[in-house]
Amino acid sequence: MRPSWDEYFMEIAETVKKRSTCLRRQVGAIIVKDNRILTTGYNGVPPKMKHCDEVGCLRQKLNIPSGQRHELCRALHAEQNAIVQVAKYGISIEGATIYITHQPCIICAKLIIASGIKRIVYKGEYPDEFSLDMIKESGIEIVNIK
């Protein structure tokens, strides 16, 4: 059976997340416009830095719960990496859809809102109700496919 566009792109995001070097949660994201992939991203450190699977996770060492103290993480989130890539290459994502393997956190939600993305499709849960509130307030369509 042929998958819907949402199913198709979410399957690709699931493959993208396999590149993650995070020790706690692997996340993948892709940004799509007119059913064409513009960019992908997964959670991992900025270029030229050692990955968490090489140096360890400060958040694990400090026993920081998921969804808190994002500033104590070496990595960029998948959504951040995807947005950085389009910015780096001068690609507009105005009106695009982002597919994410987990609900975005508040920091990523603000970047998505500011970037002009008009639709979010996500799969897994994340402990951040504030992000969902802001996304709903912004008028961005948000779809949780389970």
C-beta separation of 40 from 90 below 8 A: no
* 22 vs 143: CA distance, rounded Å: 25
Locus of tokens 């699977």:
53
Beta strands at 28-33 and 36-42: parallel, antiparallel or unpaired: antiparallel
Distance CA 17, CA 88 (A): 21
54 catalytic? Reply is: no
> Is 52 labelled as part of a ligand binding site?
no
**Active-site residue among 14, 71, 79, 137?**
79
Quickly count helices (H) and strands (E) in the chain.
6, 5
- The answer on whether 105 is annotated among ligand-binding residues is yes
- The answer to whether 70 is a known ligand-binding residue is no
| Pairing state between β 119-124 and 97-102 | parallel
Known binding residues for Zn(2+) are 77, 105, 108
Positions annotated as catalytic residues are 79
